[in-house]
Amino acid sequence: MASTQAQILVASNRGPISYALDESGTLKAKRGGGGLVSGLSAIGPEAGALWVCSALSDGDREAVRRGVGEEGVRMLDIPADVHEDAYNGVANSVLWFVNHMLYQTPLEPAFDAEFRRQWASFETYNRAFAEALAEEAAPGAAVLVQDYHLTLAPRMLRELRPDLRIGHFSHTPWAPPEYFRMLPDDIAAQLLGGILGADRAAFLTQRWADAFTDCCHAVLGPGIPSGTRIGVHGLGADADFLRKRSHEADVDDRIVALREQIGAGRKAIVRVDRTELSKNIVRGLLAYRQLLEDQPSWRERVVHVALAYPSRQDLAVYRDYMTEVQRLADEINSQYGTPGWTPVVLHLKDDFARSLAAYRLADVALVNPIRDGMNLVAKEVPVVSDEGCALVLSREAGAYEELGEDAIVVNPYDVVGTARALHSALTMPLDERAERTKRLAAAATALPPAQWFLDQLRALDA
Ligand code: G6P
């Protein structure tokens, strides 16, 4: 077990490290990247920080059993069936869908007895976090609880340890009350009350923060009853890390390989996403096809490089979505492709070096989510771009609030409108493109991860 006297604690479902068992039974560790990891490293190990996360795979569970681990990380071995209900059942199939407004009537949602059973697991899962945090935290410690998986934990932790300073951060959008209230009333109240157990509830944009307070008023009545403070911290791109990492040899190799697939003298429309329903990859492909239809002069002169990495493949709807992305890419290629030109280059295998390579060479970046808490791709591309890149950006991404002025803004449902935006982006004069990219990069890096993290700690003290 890790230190019992942590001064700063972070809690999230997915932690900074994961383990896989190879054939010989050896555990192999894999470090994750991302804003929280670099944010935590910024405060340094001497600060006595501890990250509490969940074991997600058989490898992780085996690591916990063998006592293998990393200093500063405590992985919770929550029973696999409880985790399955909490993560796939409640968090990813319900809370993610509500906050991204992804449900499609008439089939969904239906909050039936099976959902209530999963909800009990969600409570158990949150309680396991609250108990571990209560056990590990030094008196008066700061605890930063992350995301929708852990909506109930702040209130539970508050009851166990009234001395702690607790923050909750939502990395997703928040739904407006008209949508949020499709949840059963008691569940809606529990979710809001869970977060209100924190001293501070923070969001990526003012829009999501306002939606949360609107939901509190609609469900719980006027006023934020516990006096929880509401904050906004717009997580930015990690410029230092990205600029350095994107010039390493493996990225240069990927650039050569991608250029070969694109073909000399052609423009590249790039997208990089988890294959996630909210990312709107299918409508992106439809818009690209519409562009080839409406503007035949682009045929043979442009390639859509779509990096769509697997995500949440335990859920059938995600597997189906991936199949549809693949099918549509194939269809466009057989419809328009010629012996020397593949209109869509689709990569489905997760490869960070290839993502950075695509960022560097993109002429146009397509970021068209239906709804997105922030969208860091929109912020990373301008930072890494070699020669400037036009950004086609959905007005429903949190990043729109900071980048909207220098992006070409789209309604993500409007396929024809998105095709027109792609055309404008492709024809943007190169000097204008470079100027806009500079301004986008400045806006995108205004709040780097380390600062984002420190700001939250400071705000908890205030
Ligand atoms: C979003 C969520 C994160 C989550 C990530 C990847 O960014 O806000 O909490 O970790 O997606 O999803 P996954 O289900 O693979 O953890």
SS3 for 375-412, per residue?
CCHHHHHHHHCCCCCEEEEECCECCHHHHHHHCEEECC
Domain total of the chain: 2
208 and 279, same domain (yes or no): no
For 49, 149, 198, 206, 236, the CA distances from 129, given in Å and listed in that order, are: 16, 11, 14, 28, 27
- Burial tier of 427 (Cβ tally within 10 Å: 0-12, 13-18, 19+): exposed
Give mean pLDDT in consecutive 10-residue pieces for the chain, a chain of 462 residues: 76 95 94 73 73 95 94 95 98 98 90 98 98 97 97 98 98 98 98 98 98 96 81 96 97 98 98 97 98 98 98 96 98 98 97 97 98 97 98 98 98 98 98 98 96 94 85
Residue nearest to atom 10 of ligand 1 (CA): 14
Q: Whose CA is nearest to atom 9 of ligand 1?
A: 147
CA atoms of 356 and 351, how far apart (whole Å): 9
Same domain, 194 and 296: no
Q: What pLDDT does residue 222 have?
A: 79
- Contact by Cβ (8 Å): 182, 98: yes
Domain that holds residue 12: 6-235+451-461
Three-point CA angle 298, 377, 41, nearest 5°: 155
Q: Rounded distance, CA 371 to CA 276, Å?
A: 11
Q: Output the CA 455–ligand 1 centroid distance in Å.
A: 22
Structure tokens at 19: 């383990």
Q: Domain check: are 225 and 145 in the same one?
A: yes
25 and 109 inside one domain = yes
Q: Which residues pair with 102 in a beta bridge?
A: none
Q: How far is the CA of 67 from the centre of ligand 1 (A)?
A: 26
154 and 247, same domain (yes or no): no
Q: Is residue 408 part of a domain?
A: yes
Measured in whole angstroms, how far is the alpha carbon of residue 131 from the centre of its chain?
26
Q: Token pair of 88, please?
A: 């796939």
Distance separating alpha carbons of residues 416 and 84, to the nearest angstrom: 40
Give all strands of the β-sheet with 364-367 in edge-to-edge order.
344-347, 302-309, 267-274, 364-367, 390-394, 408-410
Edge-first strand order for the sheet with 49-54 is 73-76, 49-54, 6-11, 137-146, 165-169, 200-203, 229-232
Is the CB–ligand 1 distance for residue 181 below 6 Å? no
Q: Cα separation of 51 and 48, whole Å?
A: 10
Q: Cα–Cα distance between 190 and 110 in angstroms, integer? A: 18
In DSSP terms, 364 is beta-bridged to 269, 390
Sign of the Cα torsion 151, 157, 159, 163 reads negative
Q: Give the integer Cα–Cα distance in Å for 218 and 237.
A: 34
In this predicted structure, what is the pLDDT of residue 4? 61
Same domain, 225 and 249: no
- Tracing tokens 């979505």 back to the chain, one arrives at 321
- Indicate the top mutation candidate among 10, 13, 14, 350 to test ligand 1's pocket, ranked by most ligand atoms within 8 A of CB: 14
Same domain, 283 and 205: no
How far apart CA 145 and CA 149 sit, in angstroms, is 10
Q: Ligand 1 centroid vs 326 CA: distance in angstroms? A: 22
| Co-location of 99 and 228 in the same domain | yes
Asked if residue 171 has its Cβ within 6 Å of ligand 1, the reply is yes
The reply to whether ligand 1 has any atom less than 6 angstroms from the CB of 276 is: no
Per the listing, tokens 């995600």 go with: 318
**Does the beta carbon of 34 lie inside 6 Å of ligand 1?**
no
Q: Decide if 302 contacts 336 (C-beta within 8 A).
A: no
Residue 23 shares a structural domain with residue 38: yes
Note whether ipTM > 0.85 here.
yes
Which candidate, 311, 330, 327, 328, places its Cα nearest to that of 319?
311
Question: Is there a domain that residue 1 lies in?
Answer: no
The pLDDT value given to residue 46: 65
Q: 367, 378, 373: which is closest to 437 by C-alpha?
A: 378
Q: Which atom of ligand 1 is nearest to the CA of 149?
A: 9
Measured CA distances, 431 to 264, 408, 438 (Å): 21, 16, 11
The pair of three-digit structure tokens given for residue 144, joined into one six-digit string: 């930063």
Same domain flag for 290 and 172: no
Q: Is residue 324 part of a domain?
A: yes
What are the structure tokens assigned to 153, written together?
A: 């934990």
Assess if residue 373 is contained within a domain: yes
Quote the tokens at residue 179. Answer: 């949508």
Q: What is the CATH number of the domain that holds 353?
A: 3.40.50.2000
Establish whether residue 100 lines the binding site of ligand 1, counting it when its CB lies within 6 angstroms of any ligand atom: no
265 CA to centre of ligand 1 in angstroms? 37
Number of CB atoms found within 10 A of residue 1's CB: 9
Report the pLDDT value the prediction gives residue 437, as an integer from 0 to 100. 98
Q: Which two tokens stand for residue 198?
A: 């924190």
- Shared-domain flag, residues 56 and 190: yes
Return the closest-CA partner of residue 55 out of 42, 44, 66: 66
Question: Within this chain, do residues 229 and 98 fall inside the same structural domain, yes or no?
Answer: yes
85 and 95 Cβ atoms separated by less than 8 Å: no
Does the beta carbon of 3 lie inside 6 Å of ligand 1? no
Alpha carbon distance 169, 456 (integer Å): 9
100 within a domain of the structure (yes/no):
yes
